[in-house]
Amino acid sequence: MTNALSVLLDVDTGGDDALALLLAMASPALDVRGITCVAGNCALEQVVTNTLTILDALEAPPVPVAAGMDRPILEPGLPAPPLHGGDGMGDLRLPAPRRSRVHIHAVEFLRRTLADSAEPMTLICLAPLSNIAMLLRMYPRIGDKIERIYVMGGTFAAPGNTTPAAEFNVRYDPEAAAIVLHSGLPVTLYPLDPFMQVRFTKEEAEAMAGAKGAGARIAGGIALHYCRFFGMDFSLIGDAGTVATVIDPEGANWVRRPVHVDLSSGTSRGATVFDRRVMTDGFAREGEWTDVDVVTRVDAPRYRKLMAAALGAVEALAD
* Footprint of ligand RIB (CB under 6 A): 12, 14, 16-17, 40-41, 126-127, 152, 161, 167-169, 238-239
Min dist. Cβ of residue 112 to ligand RIB (A) = 25
Min dist. Cβ of residue 143 to ligand RIB (A) = 23
Residues 6 or more apart from 241 whose CB is under 8 A from it? 152, 190, 194, 195, 197, 198, 298, 303
User: Residue 161 touches which of ligand RIB, Ca ion, none (CB < 5 to 8 A by kind)?
Assistant: ligand RIB
Q: Does position 126 bind Ca ion by CB under 5 A?
A: yes
Distance CA 235, CA 227 (A): 6
Residues 6 or more apart from 76 whose CB is under 8 A from it? none
> What kind and span of H or E run contains 180?
helix 174-181
Min dist. Cβ of residue 11 to ligand RIB (A) = 8
Q: Is 294 strand, coil or helix?
A: strand
Q: Are 13 and 54 a contacting pair, CB within 8 Å?
A: yes
Closest residue by Cα to residue 40 from 92, 5, 84, 91: 84
Distance CA 102, CA 121 (A): 20
* DSSP strands (E only) in the chain: 5-11, 30-37, 65-67, 121-125, 146-152, 187-190, 199-201, 234-236, 252-261, 272-274, 290-298
Min dist. Cβ of residue 38 to ligand RIB (A) = 9
- Kindly determine how many residues on this chain lie close enough to bind Ca ion according to the rule CB under 5 A: 6
The stretch among 14-22, 66-74, 176-184, 290-298 that binds Ca ion (CB under 5 A) is 14-22
User: Residue 238 touches which of Ca ion, ligand RIB, none (CB < 5 to 8 A by kind)?
Assistant: ligand RIB
Distance CA 177, CA 24 (A): 23
Min dist. Cβ of residue 286 to Ca ion (A) = 31
Distance CA 95, CA 107 (A): 28
Q: Are 303 and 248 a contacting pair, CB within 8 Å?
A: yes
Q: Site for Ca ion (CB under 5 A): which residue of 7, 8, 17, 146?
A: 17
Q: Does position 187 bind Ca ion by CB under 5 A?
A: no
Min dist. Cβ of residue 307 to ligand RIB (A) = 15
Nearer of residues 139 and 229 to Ca ion, judged by Cβ: 229
Closest residue by Cα to residue 89 from 61, 57, 123: 57
> Phi and psi (nearest 5°) for 316?
-75, -20
Min dist. Cβ of residue 239 to Ca ion (A) = 5
Residue of minimal Cβ distance to ligand RIB: 168
Amino acid at 307: M
Nearer of residues 239 and 299 to Ca ion, judged by Cβ: 239
Nearer of residues 188 and 207 to Ca ion, judged by Cβ: 188
Nearer of residues 94 and 211 to ligand RIB, judged by Cβ: 94
User: Residue 262 touches which of Ca ion, ligand RIB, none (CB < 5 to 8 A by kind)?
Assistant: none
Min dist. Cβ of residue 153 to Ca ion (A) = 9
215-244 residues in contact with Ca ion (CB under 5 A) are 239
Q: Site for Ca ion (CB under 5 A): which residue of 127, 134, 146, 207?
A: 127
Nearer of residues 60 and 126 to Ca ion, judged by Cβ: 126
Residues of this chain that interact with Ca ion (CB under 5 A) are: 12, 14, 17, 126-127, 239
